[in-house]
Structure 1
Amino acid sequence: MSREILLQCGDLVAGIAPGSGGSVSRFSSEQEGIKTNWLRPASAADLSDLSDLAAGGPLGMGCFPLVPFSNRIRNGRFQFQDKSVQLPLNFGDHPHAIHGHGWENSWSIEQQTADSLVLGYVHDADAWPWTYRAQQVFRLDDTSLTIELSLTNESDSDMPAGLGLHPYFPHSAGVTITATVAAMWQVDDEVMPVKLVEPLSSADPNSGLNVTTTILDNGFTGWHKCAVLRWPERNRGLVMTATGPLDHLVIFTPENEEFFCVEPVSHSTDAVNAAEQSAGMISLPPGETVTASVKFEIA
């Protein structure tokens, strides 16, 4: 399998790495000989393999898929209907299960053209006691990259289901994120949700959040499915729009890093253990499919 498949349309190029979690390895444009990276580009080492997730692979990519859940499940443990589930703790000494299975596995190529690609991933029941099928459809046009992500329950009982994307954007001084949201989850030292509050005035995406001066690793509810990213040194920005059940947004702006993340997802962190329906975890019946999409448009 090729480590990277390149899609091209006009002056836009997208790279996809099926063997590295079905991740986007690059998304860039070129105008008048000037190349602009809209997602963080992967290095050759990141494209190598999945043997050490903490050292590279999907964590060095521009974007990876989140299936069948987003973010963390506390201690990897939950009860769903008649099933008690204990998931492997899949990220070093981190005490919680994180980001599902899709990013940890190779995806198969199902269809390919010059500007589109379809990848598939099948997960057989194991510690996660449901079999499911996931699919990603990548489409490139003159101004945008669209990723459609779907999840189908192939088991004989209802399955808890979530999905989303984990894009990494290049950081530069003064870059801003603007998005309409309703509330923010306060988190504890393990980045687990504690309490829903109004967004802090100093870190409110509703009025425009300065990535350089704001440190966050928080989920937001009531997202209106549009986020605008602006880099001061560029004459264009990126508009990220979503469809389907992606009503939640995770914003990760780590200190002293060359990236930041704005993650469209279908549920809050640890939603499978939350009593509130608003947490967003879907109960997906046998044979049913949930689908969402995210468009990254240069504007």
Structure 2
Amino acid sequence: MGAISELLSIGSGALEVALVPRIGGSVSSLRWRGIDLMRRLSEDDRRAGNVLGVAMFPMTPYANRIAGNAFDFAARRWQVLPNNVPEKFNVHGSGWQHAWDVTGSGPTNATLSLDIAAGAEPYSYRATQAFTVSEEELSVTMTLTNTGAVAMPFGFGLHPWFDRDPDVTVQFKAGCFYLEEPDGISGDPITLPPELDFAEGRPLPGGWRNNDYGGWSGEATLRFPVRGVGLRMKADPIFKHLMLYADPTKPYFCAEPQTNASGAFNRGRWDDPEEGVIVLGPGESAAGTVAFMPFALET
């Protein structure tokens, strides 16, 4: 078994977290009282180093797709590369496709780091993920630093995958809904209609959903009645958006806290706080924390 598939386990009490740093700086499993709270990385995918099979990976130096694999910023056109064949466009940046280094670890904590130097793509950055486990929660603090020579637009987020149990429900508050255009590209926001609103909690939609919810309150609650557990996500205000991906033909779904609106890099409204793009000068950093808190469902 190669180093790429090695697990790093941390935990406290009934809450157990396994990391696979060399597979995109990812989480392999999140378990509470022996119950999986995220989709568990299979042994086959772990041995193969398949990042698309993990429980959660980081999105950096931006979240979601860049249409046309290019964006305009500071009077220059910046090119990125397609990175998820057969998709046409770059998705979720580069962090999830690199091995991360373990730069600190203990029984209840671990820090993973990644340094990228601009080459075929324009970004130079250092990213860290600090994982801390208590008996009540898994806390993940992401920090992103521009190590390049010029100011650039950045964003980041977390991409957890959850098992799509037949009775799962999702609950969160948001202010708007970004339409989806061809090839997974995010369009403009619309006022959130009742049939797309999850404020009261509801089952996953029966049809396709791959949309950014803007003006997110920073909290989301997932309930898995068949497992007898739920999971609350609570994110710092820097995470203004929650991406919901749900394909009824797949046994999983995703609810992804992210700082930038999907499609923001193509719209180019860099100063719009609702777009959530973070412009970092050389040496500047941004950080935010997401907590994952399991709880028992009442029987």
**Pairwise TM-score range, normalised by the shorter structure:** over 0.9
Q: Distance in 1 between matches of 2:244 and 2:123?
A: 30
After TM superposition, list the pairs within 5 Å mapping 1:164-243 onto structure 2: 164-211=157-204, 213-243=206-236
Q: How many residues align?
A: 289
- Aligned residue number for residue 81 of structure 1: 74
| Cα deviation, residue 121, structure 1 | 0.1
| Cα deviation, residue 95, structure 1 | 1.4
- Aligned residue number for residue 30 of structure 2: 27
Deviation digits for residues 55-99 of structure 1 (CA, Å, limit 9, x no counterpart): xx1110000000001010002111211432111111112111111
Name the amino acid aligned to 1:120.
Answer: S
- Give aligned-pair identity as a percent: 28
- Aligned residue number for residue 279 of structure 1: 275
| Cα deviation, residue 235, structure 1 | 3.4
Gaps of 5+ in 2: none
Name the amino acid aligned to 2:92.
Answer: H
Q: Distance in 1 between matches of 2:208 and 2:237?
A: 29
TM-score (structure 2 length as normaliser): 0.92
- Aligned residue number for residue 145 of structure 1: 138
Q: Helix, strand or coil for the counterpart of 1:48?
A: helix
| Cα deviation, residue 280, structure 1 | 1.6
Deviation digits for residues 232-255 of structure 1 (CA, Å, limit 9, x no counterpart): 224331100001410001001111
Matched, 1:3 2:6: yes
Q: Distance in 2 between matches of 1:257 and 1:98?
A: 19
Cα RMSD (Å): 1.5
Q: Helix, strand or coil for the counterpart of 2:51?
A: helix
Determine if contact 2:73/2:268 at 8 Å carries over to the other structure: no
| Cα deviation, residue 198, structure 1 | 2.6
TM-score (structure 1 length as normaliser): 0.92
Deviation digits for residues 14-40 of structure 1 (CA, Å, limit 9, x no counterpart): 01001100000000022xxxx310011
Matched, 1:253 2:252: no
- Aligned residue number for residue 42 of structure 1: 41
Q: In the superposition, relative to structure 1, how do residues 212 and 196 fare at CA in structure 2: closer, same or farther (>3 Å)? A: closer
Gaps of 5+ in 1: 51-56
Q: In the superposition, relative to structure 1, how do residues 238 and 25 fare at CA in structure 2: closer, same or farther (>3 Å)? A: same
